[in-house]
Amino acid sequence: MLGRLNHVAIAVKDAEKAAKIYGAAFGAEISAAVPLPEHGVITVFVTLPNTKIEFIQPLGEASPIAKFIERNADGGIHHICYDVPDIIAARDKLIGEGARVLGDGVPKIGAHGKPVLFLHPKDFSGALVEIEQN
Ligand code: CO
């Protein structure tokens, strides 16, 4: 059920600024900034040959990454995202294995227009996991 690594997300105060550093230092291809109000973040993607880096910055006062930025003022790795072929089947299997799905368990549409869910970091070696249907 686990597909390829879709992206690694790095939370920062300014996603465009962070991505531009990758553009200048590595010659990386960077996307435009995309606000995702439903997720409380602004995203900028850096495209690599085999995956993406997703820079996220808080959007709005109730942003779920606001506390993370408070604790990590210089930014830090926030989550990793794996492709799954069927997000509902993946969710139900994970719940059956005792994993905790964050929020109400209903997939939201993520930055790529695909359904996503987040899994509790305590169930996955301390790393917040996102799954995306692809
Ligand atoms: Co993500």
| Domain ranges across the chain | 5-133
* Distance in angstroms (rounded) separating the CA atoms of residues 94 and 66: 27
Ligand 1 centroid to residue 63 C-alpha, Å: 14
Choosing from 16, 38, 130, 132, the catalytic residue is: 130
Q: Return the pLDDT at 1.
A: 87
Q: What is the 3-state secondary structure (H, E, C) of 10-68?
A: EECCCHHHHHHHHHHHHCCEECCCEEECCCCEEEEEEECCCCEEEEEEECCCCCCCHHH
Ligand 1 centroid to residue 15 C-alpha, Å: 13
End-to-end CA distance of the chain: 11
pTM of this structure: 0.93
Task: Indicate if 130 belongs to the active site.
Answer: yes
The token duo for 96 is 């059956």
| CATH placement of domain 5-133 | 3.10.180.10
Which residues are in the CB-under-5-Å shell of ion ligand 1? 9, 54, 81, 130
The token duo for 18 is 């962070």
Q: Return the pLDDT at 112.
A: 86
Ordered per-residue pLDDT tens for the chain, 134 residues:
899 999 999 999 999 999 999 999 999 999 999 999 989 999 999 999 999 999 999 998 889 999 999 999 999 999 999 999 999 999 999 999 999 999 999 999 988 899 999 999 999 999 999 999 99
Which stretch of DSSP H or E encloses residue 88? helix 87-96
